[in-house]
Amino acid sequence: MIRPLLRKALSPVREQWHRWQLPAAAKDEARKDKRGLSGPDPGMDRAVSEAIAWLCRAQDCSTTADGGVARHYSLVDGWGPSYPETTGYIIPTVINFARHNGDAALLQRAKRMLDWLVGIQFENGAFQGGIIGAQPVVPVVFNTGQILMGLAAGAKEFGEPYRASMIRAADWLVQVQDSDGCWRKHGSPFAGAGDKTYDTHVAWGLLEAAVIEPKRGFAKAALANIHWAIKEKQAQNGWFKDCCLTDPLTPLTHTLGYALRGIIEGYRYNRDEILLAAARRTADGLMTALEEDGFLSGFLSSEWQPRARWACLTGTVQIAHCWLSLYQFTGEDRYRKAAQLANRFVRRTQDVGGRPEVRGAIKGSFPVNGEYGTNQYLNWAAKFFIDANLLEKTVAEGKN
């Protein structure tokens, strides 16, 4: 009993020692963030173009130099290695931006990402969890589902060999799924054990594959998972249990955003009103947690109460995208207004004039020393930021 009490008593001292040892850049950024939002809104066009440019630098600066995108840039120890999972779903964002802007060089970057992923695919069709170099190297459902999105986009844009790789990955996901729609085998060794409601984001990957290969049972498996999540895990107020990497009782907005997006993409696929109603319950609950300036607490309780004094910026823009999609489906302006607030908040955290390592990047947390991606700029934060801002622009222009 004495040791736990001693550890608790010494915890503030250890934290202070850790902060004292941080590089000047990390301490300076934390001090700046603590003062609140200080920068102006750069606007959607500038924000997106700078974020795309940062993703290109992240690909070029990955410490593993393999064609993948560096997981992060850290204010403590610099660039990280490539991250297969997030490189996978960065690919559709890069292809979409390249096509709309006629950028052939950017398309070639997407192809380099794809070639790398095809090269590290397991014989059974699955992909590893974690960053390159992480141990153990084992097949993981969630990571495979995210990479599947990139393979589907690659198959649409370039054809083979990405179509064959896509089919192998999707077939594996169908084969390892339980009969009720849940994936209980091949969980990530880098997350807590147990059911994961945010696997609806895996279902979305299967739906992307189903568009290309409609007769292989991919959509049936995807929708089974989404219905399982709604039936077994969604509360009446829209909150989801078992929807976090580590804490099933206080989920991250990031993983809540994953779960919500999967349900929305299920509705986009088949227009099932049950899915729309479920998505709206969660989206409405999240809206009650949004503050007037666009701040959204990184952790939320089962009553949608804030449980963190920092924002998970990835989760904020993921949820903004979901609100914008629901605006498109329902015409209810409250969804559009909530998304605009959230997107504007994150844009104001973005540095569009600093040094190349951070210019255009999106932090894991705001303030930067929050508990998610502490002192890091994350590649998936930039990806979802780009997607949310491009959708906001589409909505503003009156397009679908």
Write the DSSP assignment of 53-111 as a string of letters. HHHHHHHHH-TT-SSS-BSEEETTTEE--B-HHHHHHHHHHHHHHHHHHT-HHHHHHHH
Residue % of the chain over a pLDDT of 70: 95
Q: Say yes or no: 257 and 164 in one domain.
A: no
What number of other Cβ atoms are within 10 A of residue 100's Cβ? 9
Among 175, 204, 233, the domain-final residue is 233
Closest CA to 204 of 233, 170, 237: 170
Instruction: Out of 218, 233, 248, pick the residue that ends a domain.
Output: 233
Tell me the residue range of the domain where 223 lies: 83-233
225 and 104 housed in the same domain:
yes
What's the length of the chain?
Answer: 400
Structure tokens at 156: 């649409």
Of 233, 267, 294, the position where a domain reaches its end is 233
Return the H-helix or E-strand segment holding 155: helix 141-158
* Shared domain check, 282 and 221: no
Q: Which residue has the tokens 């590649």?
A: 379
**16 pLDDT higher than 90:** no
For residues 361 and 385, state if they share a domain: yes
Q: Is the pLDDT of residue 135 over 60?
A: yes
Q: What is the pLDDT of residue 398?
A: 87
Mean pLDDT of 199-222: 98
Report the pLDDT averaged over residues 280-287: 98
> How high is the pLDDT of residue 19?
60
Amino acid residing at 135: Q
Q: Same domain for 114 and 251?
A: no
Task: Examine the domain organization and report whether 290 and 185 are in the same domain.
Answer: no
- Shared domain for 253 and 309, answered yes or no, is yes
Amino acid at 186: H
33 within some domain: no
Pair 255, 388 in one domain: yes
**Who's near 11: CB < 8 A, 6+ residues apart?**
none
pLDDT in tens, 336-376: 999 999 999 999 999 999 999 999 999 999 999 999 999 99
**Which residue reads 């607490």 in tokens?**
297
Per-residue pLDDT tens digits for 255-268:
999 999 999 999 99
pLDDT at residue 14, as a whole number: 45
End-to-end Cα distance, the chain: 60
- Of the candidates 385, 383, 376, the one whose C-alpha atom is nearest the C-alpha of residue 79 is 376
3-state secondary structure of 184: coil
The reply to whether 367 falls in a domain is yes
Unique residue bearing structure tokens 């070029």: 60
Peptide bond into 81 cis (omega under 30): no
Residue 3: what pLDDT?
45
**pLDDT band of 24, cuts 50, 70, 90:** very high
Whether 214 and 286 map to the same domain: the answer is no
For residue 56, being part of any structural domain is answered with: no
Convert the pLDDT of each residue in 45-86 to its tens digit: 999 999 999 999 999 999 999 999 999 999 999 999 999 999
Confidence category of residue 246, pLDDT binned at 50, 70, 90: confident
Q: Looking at the structure, do residues 119 and 245 belong to the same domain, yes or no?
A: no
Cα 203 from Cα 227, distance rounded (Å): 10
CATH number at residue 228: 1.50.10.10
Q: Assess whether pLDDT exceeds 90 at residue 399.
A: no
Q: What mean pLDDT, rounded, does the chain reach? A: 94
In this prediction, residue 38 has a pLDDT band, given cuts at 50, 70 and 90, of confident
**Structure confidence at residue 116 as a pLDDT band (50, 70, 90):** very high
Separation of alpha carbons 385 and 366, rounded Å = 14
| Count: domains in the chain | 2
CA nearest neighbour of 240 among 207, 200, 297, 208: 200
In this structure, the strands spanning 311-312 and 78-79 are unpaired
Mean pLDDT of 144-151: 98
Whether residue 377 lies inside any domain: the answer is yes
Q: What percent of the chain stands above pLDDT 90?
A: 91
- Sequence-distant (6+) residues with CB within 8 A of 153 are 91, 92, 95, 110, 208
Q: Residue 46 falls within a domain, yes or no?
A: no
Q: 5-19, 33-47, 130-144, 370-384: lowest mean pLDDT where?
A: 5-19
b/e map of 158-173 (b: 16 or more CB within 10 Å)?
Answer: beeebbebbbbbbbbb
- Say what angle helices 253-270 and 313-330 make with each other, to 10 degrees: 30
Tell me if 251 is assigned to some domain: yes
Say yes or no: 265 and 396 in one domain. Answer: yes
CA–CA separation, 237 and 217 (whole Å):
32
Q: Kindly state whether residues 225 and 243 are assigned to the same domain.
A: no
pLDDT for residue 325 is more than 70: yes
Task: Please state the rounded mean pLDDT for residues 99-127.
Answer: 97
Q: Cβ–Cβ contacts within 10 Å for residue 370, how many? A: 21
pLDDT of residue 63: 98
Whether 294 is covered by a domain: the verdict is yes
- Confidence band, pLDDT 50/70/90 cuts, at residue 248: confident
